[in-house]
Structure 1
Amino acid sequence: MTKPKPSGSIVQAVVVDPALVNQQAQRIRQQREAAKAAEQDRLKRLEQQADALEKMRQEEEQRLRQLKADKLKAEKEAREAEQERKRVAAERAKAAEEKRKADEAARVAREQAAKAEAERKAKQEAAKKAEAERQRQVAEQRKAEEAKRQAEAAAAKAEAERQAQVAAKKKAEEEARKAEAARKEAERKAAEARELQRQQEAALNDMFAGLEAESEQRGDARAQSISDVRDRYGAIYTQMIQQNLLVEQSFIGKECVIRMRLSSNGLVLDASEDGGDSAVCRAAKAAVVKVSQFPMPEDPAVVEQLRSIRLTVSPQ
C-alpha cells in the first residue's frame, strides 16, 4: 500500500531583526514628520503672504474711496459756489436787505477762497518737502555709491599691492636662486683656478728647480701668476655682486667703485664707496652684505692680495 504524499507548499521561516525593523520604522516616522513640518511651514508662509496682500488691497481701496469722496465734495462745493454766485447776481437789484445778504454770502465765499488758497499753499509746501526728501535720498544714494566706489578702489589697490608683494617675493626668491647658482659657479671656478694655479706652480717648480741663475725670472712668473689669479677672483667677485644687485632703471649707464676688506676665509669685514654714483654704490654695498662670504684660493699670497680689493660694479 502506497503512503500518501504531503500536500501544500513548504514555508521557510525568515528571522527578522526587531531592532532593524524598529530603526527603519523610526526613520520612516521621522521622514514623515519632517515632511509634515515642512508642508506646514510652507502653508504658513503662503497664508502670511496672502494676509499681507489682502491688507495692501484694502488699504488701496480705502485710499481710492477717500480720493473719490474728496473729488465729489470739491465738485459739490464748486456747484454750490456757482449757484450762490448766480443767486447773488440775480438779486442785486433787490432791496438793501437782500444786498446785505448777498454781501454776507460774498464774504463767506471769500473765506472759502482763502481757505482754498491756504490748502493750496499747504499742498505746495508738502510737495516742496517731498521734493527735498527725494533730493536728500538721491544725495544719500550718491554718497553710498561713492563710498562703494572708494571701497572697491581700496580693495583693488590692496589686491595690486598684494600681487606686487607676491611678485617681489618671487623676484627675491629667483634672485636668491641665481645668487646660490652664482655662488656655486664661483666656487667651481675658484676650484678650477686653484687647480690651475697648483698645476702652474708645479710646472714652474719643475721647470725652474735647481736653476739658481734663473731665480729672478721665476719670481717674475710667480708674481704674474698671483696677479692673474687675483684678477680672475676679482672678476668672480664682481659677477657675484652684480647677481645680487637690485637694479633700478636709473642705474643703467652708471657705475660704482667699491673697496672690500675680506678675512682670510672670504668673510666680508667692510665695504666702502671708492668713487662713482652714490645710489649705485649703496645698492652695491647691500649686494656685498647679501653675498656675505666670497670664495678664496688656497695660495696664501693670492689670499693676501684679495683681502683688500677694489672692484668696479656696472649695473646691467
Structure 2
Amino acid sequence: MKKSNYSKSVVISVAIHALLIVLLLWGADFTFDNKQPVGNTIQATMVDPAMLNQQAQQIRQQRQAAKEAEQARQDRLEQQTAALETQRKAEAERIRQLKADKLAAEKQTREAEKQQQLQQQQALEAKAKAEAKAKADAKAKADAQAKADAQAKAEAQAKADAQAKADAKAKAEAKAKAEAKAKAEAKAKAEAKAKAEAKAKADAKAKAKAEAKAKAEAQAKQDAALNDMFSGLEAENAQRGGARGKHIADEVARYGAIYKQMIQQNLLVDQSFKGQECKLTLRLSANGLVLNVSQLAGNDTLCRAAKSAVLQVSEFPMPDNPDVVKQLRVINLTVSP
C-alpha cells in the first residue's frame, strides 16, 4: 500500500512539472513584426501635427498597454511558477515524508520481526529446556525403577536359592529314607525268598498234594494282596485328620475297593508267582482313563501280568469331588500273590 502511494506521488510531481513548462512556453512572445519592404521611392505627404500627436499618443498608449499586459503576464507566470514551485516543494516534502514513513515502517517491521524471532528463539530455548528436564526426570525415574527391579530380582533370587537349598536338603533326606527303606525291604525280601525256597523244597516231596494246597494258598494270598494294595494311600489320607480329611479318606478307600475288584477280575495267577512281588505306579486322567502303568520294582513276569490286568480295565470310575480325584490320579500298587 505504501509503495503504491509513493508511485502515485511521483506521477503527480512529473505532471506538475510538465504543466509548468507548458505555461512558460505559452507566455513567451513569438510575434514577429511585418516589415515593409524598403524601396527607393520617396513619396512626400502632408502631415497634420495634431493627428501625428494623436497617433503618437495612441502608439505610446498601445505600447504602454502592451508593456502592462506583458508585465501582468510575467507576474502571472511568476505567480504560477511560485505556486508550482511551492506545490513541487510540498509534493517533494510529501514524497520525502512518505519515504521517511516507509523507512520507519520498514524499520518497525524489522524490529517487530526481530522481536518475534527473539520471542520464537526464547520459546524454542524454553521448550528445549523443558524437554531436557522431562528427559532427565524420565531417566531418573527409569533408573530408580531399574534399581528397584534389580533389588527385587536379587531378593527373589536369594529367596529362590534358599528354597532350592531347602528343597535339596529335603530331597537328600527323602532319598536317604528311601534308600534305608529299600535296604530293609531287600533284606525282608531276601529272608522271605529264603523261607520260600526252603518251603518249596519241603513241599516238593509231596508234589500232588502240595500243588493243590499251593494253588489254594496262592489264591488266598492274591486276594490278600489285592485287599492291601491301597493300604498306603488310605493311611496317608487318614493322617490328614478332620471331617473333610476323613471324608476324602473314606471316598479314596471306597473307590480303592472298586479298583481292586476290577483289577482282580483280570489278574491271571501262575504257580511261579508264589513268593514274588511287584510294585507298579498307575497314572490316571481326571476322567479315569489309564495314562500309564510303570514298574517300580519286583518280578518282571508278575509285573507284566499285573500291568496287563490294569490295562484290560482301561478306564476306572472317578468321583465328583476334585480332592478325591487328585488322590486317585497317581496310585502305587503292590501285588504279591
TM-score (norm 1): 0.37
Larger radius of gyration: 2
TM-score (norm 2): 0.35
